[in-house]
């Protein structure tokens, strides 16, 4: 199994290209199920999760073609066509590996009038439940049955009627599934307390390009007027705001100066505001964001929240960065209850972090020390990379398949700006 080895202490400086957003790509790809015409996505990141989702679409009858992409290039152009669906079942062996697979439920139901999708991760309603997905679809007219570890959804008469649903809590995935289901419904659908993340906006804009009728984009209430059919389109995936924020933390912890090429400052306001509060210089440019650390880092008090609040996907990276702040920082995780699994690994490197319930106190230390550490999830993996960049000596990060799910060619990008980092086999 591959590992990443980092010899810390190098200041990062230069330009890093920001890839297409993983979370947007995995939401846009199932839109191909909504039409029999081609959907072409540009700026699609080269990631394990994207490959996995492509495999799932192939299982459902979608042809996929990568156009003119050289292996050394960042990003891809992929054309998908679901001219004829050959299956409406997303099997367990694929869905268990990637929770985003649940996002085929809404479009399959809208296009074919039926869908059978494995419960993700082999868990029915766990820490990341899908109950809101199902309740929203029921509000649009679906009939739902849970049987043998699968969700079986049908649209009476072969087509959803449309309806109104108010999400009791903000849910990005449930909003995405409901929007994709509603675009081909007979009537008008209204989704209240909808998620407002930039990835939701990206989804809606792609659907508009395919002929959908959606108003209220970017707000808490989405109104979707169902249409009889959608057509093909060509659409560019938005830049990855989490990747950009991660490299911003890497610049800050190493006292570096990075230009994040392609980053959209408007999509990452909370991240940039927190960096500025910590004493990091942020300069918004036309097609990039420059991040420079020129002095001591100040401690922060941060709480994760749905967009436009501070993203839960940035919590682990900021925790690593704040190990070098002058004082104690307090981070509170409000989205997921088990998102501090990186803390014991950071402690192996000398970090002083105390967890109490949903809050963690990070006391700044003078130095971190390289160690053998193990990645536990995608963002936790990146937090260990960030810590390793400043740690004294050598850090070895194992189980890096998590990183390959969400960071396109991470070691190549970091090497290009001065990091002493390499991937080794076995």
Catalytic machinery residues: 123
Please check if 107 is assigned to a binding site.
no
Please check if 17 is assigned to a binding site.
no
Bridge partners of 188, per DSSP, are 225
Please check if 23 is assigned to a binding site.
yes
Integer Cα distance of 173 and 211 in angstroms: 22
Max alpha carbon distance in the chain (Å)? 66
For 421, which DSSP code? E
Q: What are 204-207's contacts with CB under 8 Å, separation 24+? A: 204/179, 205/235, 206/28, 206/31, 206/233, 206/235, 207/31, 207/34, 207/179, 207/180, 207/183
Please check if 228 is assigned to a binding site.
no
Please check if 186 is assigned to a binding site.
no
Please check if 22 is assigned to a binding site.
yes
Integer Cα distance of 183 and 162 in angstroms: 9
**Tokens found for residue 337:** 């209850």
Please check if 313 is assigned to a binding site.
yes
**Tokens found for residue 99:** 């929770």
Burial 187-217 (b: 16+ CB within 10 A, else e): eebbbebbbbbbbbbbbbbbbbbbbbebeeb
**Tokens found for residue 160:** 């959803």
Please check if 129 is assigned to a binding site.
yes
Pairing of strands 359-363, 352-356: antiparallel
List, as residue ranges, the binding site: 22-23, 99, 128-132, 313, 335
List, as residue ranges, the binding site for UDP-N-acetyl-alpha-D-glucosamine: 99, 128-132, 313, 335
List, as residue ranges, the binding site for phosphoenolpyruvate: 22-23
């Amino acid at each position: 199994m591959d590992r990443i080895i980092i010899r810390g202490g190098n200041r990062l400086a230069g330009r890093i290209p920001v890839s297409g957003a993983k979370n947007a790509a995995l939401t846009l790809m199932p839109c191909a199920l909504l039409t029999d015409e081609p959907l072409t996505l540009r700026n699609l990141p080269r990631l394990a999760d994207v490959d996995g989702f492509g495999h799932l679409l192939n299982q459902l009858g979608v042809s996929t073609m990568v156009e003119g992409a050289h292996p050394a290039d960042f990003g891809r152009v992929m054309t998908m066509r679901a001219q004829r669906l050959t299956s409406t079942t997303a099997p367990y062996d694929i869905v268990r590996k990637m929770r985003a697979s649940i996002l085929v439920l809404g479009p399959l139901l809208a296009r074919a009038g039926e869908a059978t999708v494995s419960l993700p991760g082999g868990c029915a309603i766990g820490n990341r439940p899908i109950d809101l997905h199902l309740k929203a679809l029921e509000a649009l007219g679906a009939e739902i049955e849970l049987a043998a570890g699968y969700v079986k959804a049908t649209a009476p008469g072969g087509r959803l009627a449309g309806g109104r649903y108010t999400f009791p809590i903000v849910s990005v995935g449930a909003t995405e599934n409901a929007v994709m289901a509603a675009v081909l419904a007979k009537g008008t659908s209204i989704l209240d307390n909808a998620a407002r993340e930039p990835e939701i906006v990206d989804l809606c804009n792609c659907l508009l390009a395919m002929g959908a009728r959606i108003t209220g984009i970017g707000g808490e209430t989405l109104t979707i007027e169902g249409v009889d059919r959608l057509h093909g389109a060509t659409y560019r995936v938005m830049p990855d705001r989490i990747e950009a924020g991660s490299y911003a933390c890497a610049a800050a912890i190493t006292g570096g100066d990075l230009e994040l090429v392609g980053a959209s400052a408007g999509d990452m306001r909370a991240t940039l505001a927190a960096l500025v509060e910590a004493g990091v210089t942020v300069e918004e440019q036309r097609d990039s964001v420059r991040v420079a650390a020129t002095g001591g880092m100040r401690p922060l008090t941060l709480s994760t929240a749905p967009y436009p609040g501070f993203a839960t996907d940035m919590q682990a990276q900021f925790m690593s960065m704040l190990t070098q702040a002058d004082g104690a920082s307090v981070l509170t995780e409000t989205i997921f209850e088990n998102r501090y699994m990186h803390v014991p690994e950071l402690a192996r490197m000398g970090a002083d972090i105390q967890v109490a319930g949903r809050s963690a106190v990070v006391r700044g230390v003078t130095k971190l020390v390289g160690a053998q550490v193990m990645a536990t999830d995608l963002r936790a993996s990146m937090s260990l990379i960030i810590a390793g960049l400043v740690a004294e000596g050598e850090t070895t990060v194992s189980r890096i398949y998590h990183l390959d799910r969400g960071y396109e060619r991470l070691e190549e990008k970091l090497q290009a700006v001065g990091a002493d980092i390499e991937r080794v086999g076995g």
